[in-house]
């Protein structure tokens, strides 16, 4: 029996098994098909970008590893992203940082960036059925230092305010071009190695800077603001803390970004979803895997990711929660890293969508807590893998481990020849 027949047979049996507990596997696959991951362009080239390809990272950003085959220019980044998406079922998005603009070899400072510098990206994305998201870039610049939007020096602060305003304009152009809102993420590294004389001073400056940046309304983009626990070399104080951005987002109707690597390791990100949905319009996720704080390891199918996915589904919030990936591992094949993390995230949502929510809710309403816990435990050994394999098969992407050999082939024929 060939693999195609085995996949079909296993799926048919799994569908019967799930039907017995009130779950329609086809409905679950239809919902998963509509979940578009926002893939992060910076996994392809270790957050280098095209502004200054020979520059070093600074401002709380660090990539470990030097695996051969790194993308060296825009053409190679695009080629690697397309290769990665060929192994990921469904239609997805691409999240660009401002430093990945098509600058045509010219020096364009960050307070000079315009939509024209991303026109070729818009055209390329449309050609390949991708939608674009965007990020302002505050790191790796002579004016980054320890403080950008929260800098007391008006010359430095105004430079970054102008940069962020222009990034919003780029996002608006992207959203209008693709007829779908572009989500622009604002993350800054601002902080201090030691506790400052006044914490509120810098947060007041940041608040006023954000007020000015967001004063221009747009129709084709959505703003989101991302907190961080601390930055490298800025360990004692982060201006844009989680509490700061949660308060700002709730008050000003902004999307708050939850990066799963930007919290204490024992903190549950899943538990935040239901609370935030009551007070903020939407949520943006940056899915990462922290080993020691924000180490940005490749996402794998673990309990934290499963809990997060289940919570989104249980809140019926797929239309309000946007899922992006954010890690950069240069110790392994970079395309492989894309694929592992993306498929792991989709597997987590697959399991969440196969949960018999009505039955679990009924047990809970009747105070049948033993039954609720027992069913939750039995779900862990249900044949969700057979449904996932069939989902891949229906999307014409490799089933199971088949993508490993294909990535190795691309590595030998393309990336290893880059020098």
Is 132 contained in some domain? yes
HEC readout, 95-160? EEEHHHCCCCCCCCCCCCCCHHHHHHHHHHHHHCCCEEEEECCCCCCCCCCCCCCCCCCHHHHHHH
Is 21 contained in some domain? no
CATH classification at residue 243: 3.20.20.150
- Cβ 256 vs Cβ 224: under 8 Å: yes
Q: Which of 167-176, 293-302, 376-385 has the lowest mean pLDDT?
A: 293-302
- Cβ 326 vs Cβ 290: under 8 Å: no
Is 343 contained in some domain? yes
- Mean pLDDT of all residues in the chain? 95
Is 197 contained in some domain? yes
Q: Which residue has the higher pLDDT, 373 or 228?
A: 373
The domain tally of the chain equals 1
Q: At what angle do helices 242-252 and 199-213 cross, to 10 degrees?
A: 40
Q: Is 16 exposed, middle or buried (0-12, 13-18, 19+ CB in 10 A)?
A: exposed
Per-residue tokens: 281: 């319009």
Q: Give residue-wise pLDDT tens across range 320-353.
A: 999 999 999 999 999 999 999 999 999 999 999 9
Is 79 contained in some domain? yes
Pairing of strands 93-97, 283-287: unpaired
CA atoms within 13 A on the CB side of 379: 23
Residues found in the chain? 419
- Cβ 167 vs Cβ 113: under 8 Å: yes
pLDDT of residue 55: 63
Mean pLDDT, residues 44-67 taken together: 76
Q: Which residues are catalytic?
A: 187, 226, 228, 259, 262, 286, 294, 296, 326
Quickly tell me which residue has 């960036």 as its tokens: 113
Q: Give residue-wise pLDDT tens across range 127-152.
A: 999 999 999 999 999 999 999 999 99
Residue 76's CB: how many other CB atoms inside 10 A?
Answer: 17
Percent of the chain whose pLDDT exceeds 90? 89
pLDDT-derived band at 265, boundaries 50, 70, 90: confident
Is 109 contained in some domain? yes
Whole-angstrom distance, CA of residue 357 vs CA of residue 366: 14
Which backbone phi and psi does 133 adopt, to 5 degrees?
-120, 170
Quickly tell me which residue has 């008050």 as its tokens: 251
Which backbone phi and psi does 60 adopt, to 5 degrees?
80, 10
Is 404 contained in some domain? no
Element (H, E) at 81: helix 74-85
Whole-angstrom distance, CA of residue 325 vs CA of residue 345: 9
pLDDT at residue 60 tops 70: no
Per-residue tokens: 366: 């009747």
Is 128 contained in some domain? yes
- Cβ 174 vs Cβ 134: under 8 Å: yes
- Cβ 205 vs Cβ 157: under 8 Å: yes
Per-residue tokens: 298: 């490749």
pLDDT of residue 59: 60
Residue 196: give the domain boundaries.
35-354
Residue 292's CB: how many other CB atoms inside 10 A?
Answer: 7
Which backbone phi and psi does 143 adopt, to 5 degrees?
-100, 10
């Amino acid at each position: 029996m060939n693999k195609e027949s085995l996949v079909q047979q296993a799926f048919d049996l799994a569908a019967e098994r799930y039907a017995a507990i009130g779950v329609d596997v086809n409905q679950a696959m239809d919902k998963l098909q509509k979940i578009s991951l926002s893939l992060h362009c910076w996994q392809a080239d270790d957050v280098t970008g095209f502004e200054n390809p020979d520059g070093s990272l600074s401002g709380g950003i660090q990539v470990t590893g030097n695996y051969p085959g790194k993308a060296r220019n825009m053409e190679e980044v695009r080629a690697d992203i397309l290769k990665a998406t060929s192994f990921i079922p469904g239609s997805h998005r691409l999240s660009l940082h401002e430093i990945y603009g098509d600058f045509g070899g010219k020096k364009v400072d960050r307070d000079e960036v315009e939509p024209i510098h991303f026109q070729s990206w818009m055209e390329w994305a449309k050609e390949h059925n991708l939608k674009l998201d965007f990020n302002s870039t505050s790191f790796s610049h002579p004016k980054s230092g320890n403080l950008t939007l929260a800098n007391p020096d008006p010359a430095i602060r105004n430079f970054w305010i102008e940069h962020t305003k222009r990034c919003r304009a780029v996002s608006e152009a992207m959203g209008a071009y693709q007829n779908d809102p572009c989500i622009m993420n604002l993350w800054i590294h601002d902080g201090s190695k030691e506790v400052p004389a006044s914490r509120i001073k810098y947060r007041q400056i940041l608040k006023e800077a954000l007020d000015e940046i967001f004063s221009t309304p747009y129709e084709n983009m959505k703003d989101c603001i991302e907190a961080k626990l601390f930055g490298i070399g800025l360990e004692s104080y982060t201006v844009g803390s989680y509490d700061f951005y949660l308060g700002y987002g709730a008050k000003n109707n902004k999307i708050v970004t939850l990066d799963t690597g930007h919290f204490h390791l024992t903190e549950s990100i899943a538990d935040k979803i239901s609370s935030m949905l009551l007070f903020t319009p939407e949520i943006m996720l940056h899915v990462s895997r922290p080993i020691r704080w924000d180490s940005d390891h490749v996402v794998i199918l673990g309990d934290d990711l499963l809990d997060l996915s289940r919570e989104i589904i249980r809140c019926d919030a797929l239309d309000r929660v946007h899922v992006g990936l954010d890690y950069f591992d240069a110790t392994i094949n970079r395309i492989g890293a894309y694929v592992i993390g993306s498929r792991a995230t989709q597997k987590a949502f697959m399991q969440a969508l196969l949960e018999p929510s009505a039955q679990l809710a009924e047990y809970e309403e009747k105070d049948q807590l033993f039954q609720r816990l027992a069913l939750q435990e039995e779900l862990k050994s249900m044949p969700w893998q057979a449904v996932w394999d069939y989902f891949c098969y229906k999307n014409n992407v490799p089933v199971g481990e088949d993508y490993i050999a294909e990535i190795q082939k691309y590595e030998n024929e393309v990336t290893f020849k880059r020098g």
